[in-house]
Amino acid sequence: MSMTSTKHPHTHLPDKQDLEAMSAFRYDLRKFLRASEELANAAGITTLQYQLLLHVRGFPDRQWATVGELAERLQAAPNGTAALVSRCESSGLVLRKVDVADRRQVQVHLTPEGEKTLLDLAAQHKAIYGAFRWVFDRDD
């Protein structure tokens, strides 16, 4: 399909500056993802496990998340996310708790080991964000 097809009449072809910016972004992103993988592996977990820990603890306004919320954050299928939670639970990184207000909901919480692993890795990740400084730009 041509980029100038009638399906996207408002799409404008990128110019050289756009392509350079996109290339630089993808390069920086790939460097970050490779470094993240190396950090997680050195800590004895996978990058997906690190991301799960990050999303559990980084969920807005609370310190836990549901499997469905984690699946959305990870952009993964709920059944695959449930399996990831199970692997993290077997490794002692998270635990499941039934929500007292809605017994159909299961909350995923970090264990003390999961919290330590997350904070250690997050500190290392924060140090390598480099081109991603906007992540930490705040108006407060």
For the segment 46-70, what is each residue's pLDDT rounded down to a tens digit? 999 999 999 999 999 999 999 999 9
- What per-residue confidence (pLDDT) applies to 132? 62
Q: What is the pTM of this model?
A: 0.82
What pLDDT, on the 0 to 100 scale, is given for residue 2? 47
pLDDT at 139: 56
DSSP line for 34-91: HHHHHHHHHTTS-HHHHHHHHHHHTSTTSSEEEHHHHHHHHT--HHHHHHHHHHHHHT
In sequence order, the 6+-apart residues with CB closer than 8 A to the CB of 37 are 47
Q: So what's the pLDDT on residue 37?
A: 96
Q: In this structure, are strands 94-98 and 106-110 parallel, antiparallel, or unpaired?
A: antiparallel
pLDDT value of residue 127:
84
Mean pLDDT split into 10-residue runs, the chain, 140 residues: 55 92 90 93 97 97 95 96 98 95 92 98 85 58
User: Hey, what are 72's tokens?
Assistant: 């959305």
> Domains in the chain, start-ordered, CATH in brackets?
47-125 (1.10.10.10)
